[in-house]
């Protein structure tokens, strides 16, 4: 590739996440150009083609159609659903495309390793959309760790608090509410970011994992008295319920990208249409206690690494405030912070008279998105890698992203089998 020319890319799966990454081309056309789209939905293909001024000949229903023709781009942005990642990416790699792949990499360790082998055999670049590595908050923490200022890491404590409205739209009413439909556990679909951050900070092979969790609250027997089956049809407590579909998706205008078809491509229903959608066919109009969800609403993971370092991650669903926090304790000091607060602190023991420890506050740039501003920084790094530049400290290459996924897969097996899982080294 000529480093002076923009990278060309095809969108595979024209969903919300793909379009966020592809939007980099609209602000940096000298670095990235979108030249094609693959999506089975004709309306979505048409809207995407219009947004990026694509030729009809570069719009495809399937990956099979795309790879049956000579290469039309350098790379692919693959934002298909979880269980389609491997089956769509392998033929793309074999056809010579480099791939920016939405997380999780796969829905099983076996299929993840198959993808890794195909990428290696075809000498193709695959980067995973673990965008938290690129969030200034986590990148700055990783840079402090790399200096050795807190010494050797002994323990990492991390947690993600998933807000009540995000929990409802994605993991109770929505696309990721059931292992049967999306094939990913709640931990992998929501927290593989966090497990990746932990393994990235530690930089060691995970060796043992134990995990506990369940679906405790969002099930029929926990429904409040008066709750119906659809918020705007038969619910007697809708006006006071914190999970009212009307409050979330109409009054507060949250999560339109999930609730309204093609909203991320500029399609917006009228208020009357929104009410009708929630009253009738939409899964997002259902009572959160009467859905077909089966994924956990809370889970804890305990892990050990080959060098003896330990770590924990807690995922708690339906919290009042969404946030991610991290606390890293080393032999010389510690780092602690909350992503959404916009700063972290670095502490060191201080045994001088009148002191116990010293503390430095490090401010970082924070944006209003849940990934702390990492989305487009990831795309920028992907482009630089394809142009032959040295990967950044945040690099999410496939081989650097496997350990966090190993933890996630082992954690779900541990939870279901009620026993500690041993993880085998891959490299």
Q: Structural domain boundaries of the chain?
A: 7-124, 132-218+293-371+394-422, 224-285
Indicate if the pLDDT at residue 231 is higher than 90: yes
Q: Helix (H, G, I), strand (E, B), or coil: what is residue 231? A: coil
pLDDT tens digits, one per residue of 156-213: 999 999 999 999 999 999 999 999 999 999 999 999 999 999 999 999 999 999 999 9
| CATH value of 7-124 in 3.40.50.720, 3.40.1160.10, 3.40.50.300, 1.10.3720.10 | 3.40.50.720
Do 267 and 47 meet the contact criterion of CB atoms below 8 Å apart?
Answer: yes
Using alpha carbons, select from 29, 18, 104, 2 the residue that is nearest to residue 10.
18
The dihedrals phi and psi of 254, each to the nearest 5 degrees, come to -90, 150
Tell me, what's the pLDDT at 2? 63
Residues contacting residue 132 through CB under 8 Å, at least 6 positions apart: 138, 193, 194, 196, 197, 324, 371, 372, 374
* pLDDT 10s digits, 98-139: 999 999 999 999 999 999 999 999 999 999 999 999 999 999
Half-sphere exposure of 360 (CA within 13 A, CB side): 13
- The pLDDT-based confidence of 373 (bands split at 50, 70, 90) is confident
Q: Are strands 343-349 and 334-338 parallel, antiparallel or unpaired?
A: antiparallel
Average pLDDT over residues 25-49: 97
Per-residue pLDDT reduced to its tens digit, 299-343: 999 999 999 999 999 999 999 999 999 999 999 999 999 999 999
What does 82-110 look like in DSSP terms, one character per residue? GGGHHHHHHHHHHTT-EEEEPSSS-SSHH
pLDDT, mean of residues 358-386: 88
Q: What is the CATH number of domain 132-218+293-371+394-422?
A: 3.30.360.10
370, pLDDT greater than 60? no
For residue 331, what pLDDT is reported?
98
Please give the model's pTM, rounded to 2 decimal places.
0.95
What's the CA gap between 280 and 286, in Å, rounded? 9
Distance CA 270, CA 236 (A): 25
């Amino acid at each position: 590739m000529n480093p002076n020319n923009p990278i060309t890319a095809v969108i595979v799966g024209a969903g919300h996440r793909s379009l966020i990454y592809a939007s980099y081309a609209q602000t940096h056309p000298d670095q990235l150009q979108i030249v094609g789209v693959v999506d089975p939905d004709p309306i979505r293909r048409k809207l995407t083609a219009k947004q990026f001024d694509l030729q009809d000949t570069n719009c495809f229903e399937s990956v099979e159609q795309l790879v049956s023709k000579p290469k039309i781009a350098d790379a692919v942005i693959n934002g298909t659903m979880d269980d389609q990642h491997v089956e769509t990416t392998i033929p793309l790699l074999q056809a010579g495309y480099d791939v920016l792949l939405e997380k999780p990499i796969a829905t099983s360790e076996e299929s993840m390793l198959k993808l890794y082998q195909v990428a290696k055999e075809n000498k193709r670049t695959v980067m995973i959309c673990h965008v938290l590595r690129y969030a200034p908050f986590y990148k700055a923490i990783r840079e402090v760790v790399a200096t050795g200022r807190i010494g050797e890491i002994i323990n990492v404590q991390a947690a993600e608090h998933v807000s009540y409205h995000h929990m409802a739209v994605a993991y109770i009413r929505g696309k990721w509410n059931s292992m049967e439909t999306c094939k990913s556990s709640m931990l992998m679909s929501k927290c593989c970011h966090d497990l990746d951050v932990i393994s990235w900070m530690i930089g060691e092979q995970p060796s043992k994992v134990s995990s506990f969790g369940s679906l405790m609250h969002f099930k029929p027997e926990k429904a409040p008295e008066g709750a119906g089956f659809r918020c705007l049809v038969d619910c007697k407590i809708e006006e006071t319920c914190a999970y009212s579909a009307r409050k979330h998706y109409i009054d507060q205008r949250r999560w339109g990208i999930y609730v309204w078809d093609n909203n991320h491509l500029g399609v917006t229903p009228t208020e009357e249409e929104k009410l009708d959608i929630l009253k009738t066919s939409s899964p997002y109009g259902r009572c959160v206690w009467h859905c077909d969800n089966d994924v956990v609403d809370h889970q804890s993971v305990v892990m050990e690494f080959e060098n003896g370092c330990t770590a924990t991650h807690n995922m708690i669903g339906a919290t009042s405030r969404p946030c991610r926090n991290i606390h890293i304790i080393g032999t010389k000091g510690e780092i602690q912070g909350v992503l959404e607060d916009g700063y972290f602190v670095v502490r060191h023991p201080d045994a001088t008279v009148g002191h116990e420890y010293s503390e430095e506050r490090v401010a970082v740039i924070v944006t209003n998105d849940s990934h702390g501003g990492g989305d487009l920084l990831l795309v920028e790094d992907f482009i630089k890698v394809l142009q032959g530049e040295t990967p950044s400290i945040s690099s999410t290459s496939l081989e650097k992203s496997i350990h966090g996924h190993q933890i996630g897969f082992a954690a779900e097996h541990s939870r279901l089998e009620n026993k500690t899982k041993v993880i085998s080294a891959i490299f």
